[in-house]
Amino acid sequence: MTIRASIRAHRAPRPDHDGGAPAALVFEGVTKHYGSAVGVESLDLAIPAGELVTLIGPSGCGKSTTLRLAAGLERPNAGTIRVAGDVVADRRRFVYPEQRRVGLVFQDYALFPHMTVAGNVEFGLDRLGRGERRARTGEVLDLVRLSHLADRYPHELSGGEQQRVALARALAPRPAVVLLDEPFSSLDESLRAQVRRDTVATLKEAGTTGVLVTHDQTEALSVGTRVVVMRGGVIEQADTPEKVFEQPATRFVASFMGDADFLPAKVHRPC
Ligand SMILES: Nc1ncnc2c1ncn2[C@@H]1O[C@H](COP(=O)(O)OP(=O)(O)OP(=O)(O)O)[C@@H](O)[C@H]1O
């Protein structure tokens, strides 16, 4: 399949924004510096509920910083961050990660090795009673099709299965947004496409907003309902995959999409 066909095949319908529901995640003028290094600079970004947004750009452009700010793992120097309409960080307020409605999936999954699959998923549900916790764990394990492995330990699972447990754990507390930082990069090529498809399908089925950081332009274009291209801590283009692919906003975006003489007609790489 070409990139263009792949974009069309994976596109989710745009959600209805007319009901006035707040965006799932909003950055307004957010800046984060690390000493003299720029993490992100005056970042403005609004991610509507139900979308899967991919963040792409060269190493050091601020992708992980954006996720870490959303998760509450970093404090911004300036600006406001909102999750599902609530301010979680601004000049006066800072909500800690466990109190934000945000789920995290990292490259290394970060599963607890001494806990079973069910134990890992239940971990974030400590505010629920025992019965509810069990029921919700069952639900999300069904969603990722791992109910039959509930009593296994992480070391008894394949990489793809571990990634699905990490996704189930992130989804269990019903977050407003799931942040995925290079979640497929430790999987080998053959498994990667399958796990990527499963992850996108699961997020869609759960109706959860996702923000996915990737180095892989095909991945960014084929799974995202929106693609955000970053450079040097700022957004170069935020648009539908078609627009980014067919009308790159700058020469930089075109070059980052793989070829300085980027022309859609020339690009027919297999997915
Ligand atoms: N804890 C830190 N201390 C100092 N500088 C940092 C820190 N974290 C990030 N940076 C710097 O901030 C900038 C953005 O880093 P970030 O990790 O967000 O980039 P990235 O786009 O995710 O990169 P990569 O694709 O390589 O993971 C880089 O210049 C980086 O060196």
pLDDT in tens, 49-106: 999 999 999 999 999 999 999 999 999 999 999 999 999 999 999 999 989 999 998 8
**Predicted local distance difference test score (pLDDT) of residue 246:** 86
Q: Is residue 203 part of a domain?
A: yes
**Predicted local distance difference test score (pLDDT) of residue 256:** 80
| SS3 assignment, position 143 | helix
Atom number of ligand 1 nearest to Cα 62: 18
Question: 87 and 72, same structural domain?
Answer: yes
Question: 184 and 170, same structural domain?
Answer: no
How many angstroms is it from 87 CA to the middle of ligand 1? Answer: 24
Residue nearest to atom 4 of ligand 1 (CA): 34
Residue 229, sorted as left (phi over 0), alpha (psi -120 to 50) or beta, turns out to be beta
Residue nearest to atom 19 of ligand 1 (CA): 60
Q: Which of 31, 32, 65 to mutate to test the pocket of ligand 1 (most atoms within 8 A of CB)?
A: 65
**Are 199 and 163 spatial neighbours (Cβ–Cβ below 8 Å)?**
yes
**Predicted local distance difference test score (pLDDT) of residue 11:** 43
**Predicted local distance difference test score (pLDDT) of residue 271:** 32
Question: 214 and 186, same structural domain?
Answer: yes
Separation in Å, CA 152 to CA 148, 198, 250: 9, 20, 49
Structure tokens of 188? 């080998």
Question: 121 and 38, same structural domain?
Answer: no
Cα separation, 79 vs 36, whole angstroms: 18
The CATH number assigned to the domain holding 67 equals 3.40.50.300
Question: 69 and 202, same structural domain?
Answer: yes
**Predicted local distance difference test score (pLDDT) of residue 260:** 41
**Predicted local distance difference test score (pLDDT) of residue 159:** 85
| SS3 assignment, position 267 | coil
Neighbours of 74 (CB within 10 A): 18
Residue nearest to atom 29 of ligand 1 (CA): 60
Q: What is the domain range of residue 186? A: 1-12+25-101+177-271
> How many distinct structural domains can be found in the chain?
2
Question: 181 and 150, same structural domain?
Answer: no
R_g (Cα) of the chain, nearest Å: 19
Atom number of ligand 1 nearest to Cα 57: 21
**Predicted local distance difference test score (pLDDT) of residue 259:** 52
Q: Is the pTM here over 0.90, yes or no? A: no
**Predicted local distance difference test score (pLDDT) of residue 37:** 95
Question: 247 and 146, same structural domain?
Answer: no
Which residues, given as ranges, of the chain have pLDDT below 70? 1-21, 109, 258-271
